Structures are given as structure tokens and as C-alpha cells.
Homo-oligomer: A and B are copies of this chain.
């Protein structure tokens, strides 16, 4: 038996993204955003949704690009984030209060301190911050649960009964 909570913007986990832009006088600016994430594999693209009222909105429209910086728990007030996606604006989607910017990821740059011995990103070294919408609380990353592919195989063997909830589109 489920309880209806109404139309809310709750989805767990939300990321903590720091959007970097330049304004018309080439001054750097940052803002924190939670409504965003990867949206395409090829070309590699990331989306972030902002209100028009933000300073960052105007900067992205003006400059045609932005960075998405991933703060980590130990770097949250550090001068530089360990992990940055460099993006070129390719689409601007009007949704409602928020406009969604889709940026093609041109490069990822990472501090060596967050790479593993093979030079690949290591989430345990990045220590990303997780955001819980509505409660407005940050959490850190927990522990290893399993390999995505293996859990998927287990799921395939089980019966499902989860779709009753989408009958009232």
C-alpha cells in the first residue's frame, strides 16, 4: 500500500554540481546545482537545468559553454575541485521555471590524486557529495554493494509486479 505524496521533485540520489561560467566581463562565477546529469553517450553530453533568474543562466547563453565541477567531501571549500567536465552548449530546452542546457563534454580533467593506478577515475578517491532534495541534506558515499552487471542478471531471474503504479498516466 503506497501513499500519494503529490507532484514533487524528489529523486535519490541527486548529485551536487558546481557550474562554472564566465560573465560578459570575463569574470569567473560559480553556482551549485542539483538538477543535472549525463544525458547521452555519443556524443558524450551532460544536462543541467537552471532558472532564468540565475547569473549562470545568462553566462551560459552568452558564452556558449560551461564547466561542471564535482566537489568532494574534503574539497567542498577548496580552491579547486578535483574533477571537471568541460562542456560546449549544444541545446537549450525550455521546460518551465527551469531551462535545461545540454552540453557536449569536450574533455574531463581530473587531479592525479583522484585517479587509480591505471589512470582511471576512482569514485572512492573523489568522494562525491550526495544531495537529498526537500530535506536539503548532504551525505557522503557509502560502501561497495556489487557489480552493476551481476546484480542485473539476478534481477532478470525474478518476477516483477511494479508497474501497477503507472496506470494513471
- Residues of A whose CB lies within 8 Å of any CB of B are 1-15, 17-18, 20-22, 28-30, 32, 34-47, 49, 51, 63-70, 73, 76-77, 79-81, 83-88, 90-91, 93, 95-98, 100, 102, 104-112, 115, 119-123, 126, 128-149, 151-152, 154-155, 158-163, 165-166, 168-169
> How many copies of this chain does one complex carry?
2
A70 touches B12 (CB 8 A): yes
Q: A66-B166, A162-B20 are in contact. Are A39 and B144 (CB under 8 A)?
A: no
Cross-interface CB contact of A169 among B63, B68, B166, cutoff 8 Å:
B63
Q: In the complex the two chains form, what is the Cα distance from A135 to B113 in whole Å? A: 17
Note all chain B residues with C-beta closer than 8 A to A90: 95
